[in-house]
Structure 1
Amino acid sequence: MLGTLRGGDWNAELLRGDVKQAVERLKQEPGDCLFVGGVTLPQALADLALIDEYVFDVQPVSGTSCTKCRRSRMQSRDWYGEAVKTPTITTRVSRELGTAINHGIYQPGTRLPGERLLAESMHVSRSTIRMALEDLERQGRVARSPQRGWFVPSPTVGEPPSTLESFTEMARQRGHTPTAEVLEKSVRSATLDEANRLGIAPGTEVLELVRLRGMNSTPICVDRNVLPLAIAQALVDLDLTDASLYESLQTQCSVSIFRSAYSVQAETPTAEQAALLRIPQGSPVLVGREIAYDRTGAPVLLGLNTYRGDAYRFHADLYRAE
């Protein structure tokens, strides 16, 4: 800035001191666009990574150009005055960050680098980074914490209201890859409570299956199921890694789950569950308890599903009694 200039006209603001700090301060203020023209000043702002977008106004005979340091789409106008939209710098940065999330550079549940570090690594201004992150936030790709910065949220699952879906179905419908690690599979005698809920005699053999369910390699749920062995005999020697239990019951045992009596309660995980779900001990979990039935109304399985509190959402349609 020139130290000899004492003021500007009605449509200009005189900046003194450090150019970068002054322009960044102006960009944080409410309002529309900051326009600059000429050659030297736009070049200086570009060198400081302060130019967010460019607008070119093309006319048949004479043309003008200006540089815009605010939020708007970069566009050019054809000979008939129609706007031709092209991707902005903010859009490009948003896409690059989204691609990095898709490729696992920033894992679900982890904090992103600070805005200043992102701006320096991507060679753009901090305000551009903030606008790109806000765009990703609207898409549900990132979330912000007032005290801790920006995070990649963990994927969430949840059945649509009044619809029974398996974990595998929920994950696939949301574009995620469901996983299942078998932690335990054993045949044992049913307890009195299990026998009562399954409608079988006490001591009847049951298959107990414990698996760690996940999405895109992120652990979501510790899934414990108990099934009468008379129904699930074909599953005893079957590898259920990454398999859907509902689908396996249908294809291997000719049993279709028709409905489920399901309840959800917030609890504190055990040390083992917290370690499996990769959450701090003491973090809340949602525990779902279910009894699943076939079309005849016969109980098929008991389920105890321990979900990460930040990864499960339960929906229900509620009606008033008439």
Structure 2
Amino acid sequence: MPNRHPSFDLDSPIPFYQQIKEKLRGSILDGTYPPHSRMPSESELQEMFDVSRITIRQALGDLQKEGLIFKVHGKGSFVSQPKAVQNITSLQGFAEAMSSEGHEIFNRVMSFAFVPASSEVAAKLGLEEGTPVAEIHRVRLLNRKATSYEITFVPESLGKKLQRADLITRDIFLILENDCGVKLGSADLAIDATAADAAMASALETRKGAPLLRVERLTYDVSKQPIDFEYLYFKGGTFQYRLKVDRKRPATARGQRQAKETKA
């Protein structure tokens, strides 16, 4: 029989269903309900919290929207495999963002070499084709599990400084800022999907042809000079980018006419 939870704070302005959601959320995150385990049924949760079925369904619905649980028709609700989430409303390195959420990050350096810039890399970094650049390959491990494969290109001068840096435990962004004196400004991102080839599948401990989230990122310093071009490949089901956008409403015909009249 499920244990009855402590009574609610009746004086709290927070609705019962939100209080239940937070209690269940905490039990999922602390491992009381591990990934892929079955959650208590709606009737069991009703008894645990002594509330209506509608209240329980509201709480479970919110947990499902957050991606913490999923429902199987006729079988109930199950705990999802947790995904790492990075908000891209600000420019951050992977370790920088994940560490702030309490995750453990390590990097496996696969290779570091100075190579002639391809036409694409040269165009991105504003260099002549064939100019030497540093090419760095790293596997990012999130909580000891291979999560992404990162290919980084930087100009040769910065590459020589990165060559002496700790690329196992530190983000390249933080090294550029703190060790190289580069002030980062902004980045252009392009996101699509691809399939893992044999080498990348092996590095990410997945199967050949497995789906990968691919991010192409070009980072600029504060003077708009491109200084870091990357390909980031995330193993499917392990990572999620989140972005909040606001609706920008088009000007109405009346508003456009008034603006013209004001200018006149």
Give yes or no for TM over 0.5: yes
Tell me which residue corresponds to 2:176.
249
Tell me which residue corresponds to 1:224.
151
C-alpha distance in structure 2 between counterparts of 1:93 and 1:157, whole Å: 20
Q: Give the letter for the 1:285 counterpart.
A: L
> Post-superposition shift, 1:217?
1.9
Conserved in 2, the CA contact under 8 Å of 1:292 and 1:300? Answer: yes
Conserved in 2, the CA contact under 8 Å of 1:266 and 1:284? Answer: yes
Conserved in 2, the CA contact under 8 Å of 1:98 and 1:136? Answer: no
Higher strand share: 2
* Aligned pair partner of 2:44 in 124, 127, 133: 127
Q: Give the letter for the 1:214 counterpart.
A: L
* Aligned pair partner of 1:305 in 228, 232, 236: 232
Q: Do the aligned partners of residues 257 and 211 (structure 1) sit closer, same or farther apart at CA in structure 2, a change above 3 Å counting? A: same
Residue 143 (str. 1) matches residue 69 (str. 2): yes
- Give the aligned length: 229
Q: Give the letter for the 2:85 counterpart.
A: V
- Tell me the TM-score normalised to structure 1 length: 0.58
Q: Secondary structure at the match of 1:193?
A: helix
Aligned residue runs from structure 1 range 123-272, under 5 A: 127=44, 142-146=68-72, 150-161=78-89, 163-272=90-199
Q: Give the letter for the 2:168 counterpart.
A: T
> Post-superposition shift, 1:215?
2.4
Instruction: Give the superposed CA RMSD.
Output: 4.0
Q: Give the letter for the 2:243 counterpart.
A: H
Conserved in 1, the CA contact under 8 Å of 2:106 and 2:140? Answer: yes
Q: Do the aligned partners of residues 95 and 195 (structure 1) sit closer, same or farther apart at CA in structure 2, a change above 3 Å counting? A: closer
Q: Secondary structure at the match of 1:253?
A: coil
C-alpha distance in structure 2 between counterparts of 1:245 and 1:211, whole Å: 11
**Which runs of no fewer than 5 residues in structure 1 stay unpaired?**
1-48, 54-71, 76-90, 120-125
C-alpha distance in structure 2 between counterparts of 1:74 and 1:168, whole Å: 39
Conserved in 2, the CA contact under 8 Å of 1:232 and 1:249? Answer: no
Conserved in 2, the CA contact under 8 Å of 1:136 and 1:142? Answer: no
Tell me which residue corresponds to 1:99.
30
**Which runs of no fewer than 5 residues in structure 2 stay unpaired?**
9-21, 50-55, 252-264
Larger Rg: 1
Tell me which residue corresponds to 1:111.
36
